[in-house]
Amino acid sequence: MAQVPEIELKDILLSNSSFGPNEITFILTKVCNDYSQFPNLKEVTGVLESQLERTPAASVRLGVCQYMIGNYETAIATLENAYGGALAYF
């Protein structure tokens, strides 16, 4: 039986793939079940914050990450400046 490679937080958050409720649930579950993943979440948040030219989709990813690590006010500001889609409003 072929082994399926484990999906990393970085793969989801730094890629250009779709990002929605399923991905957010996956990230939350992964961090809650393995708290050693929290530093990875903080690292990805830093990478997204350091991007000078951020796409609207990357802004939503950043806002979600900021919210997950507890930077609520920053997350609100980031999401308010995102593209205005349903996920950003939620």
The C-alpha atoms of residue 88 and residue 79 are separated, in whole angstroms, by 5
Per domain, the residue ranges of the chain are: 35-90
CA distances from 81 to 29, 53, 60, 84 (A): 27, 13, 9, 8
Instruction: Note the pLDDT of residue 61.
Output: 92
Beta strands in 1-90 (DSSP E): none
Residues 16-42, mean pLDDT to the nearest whole number:
91
The C-alpha atoms of residue 57 and residue 59 are separated, in whole angstroms, by 5
Q: What is the pLDDT of residues 49-90, one digit of tens each?
A: 998 888 888 899 999 999 999 999 999 999 888 777 777 777
The whole-model pTM stands at: 0.84
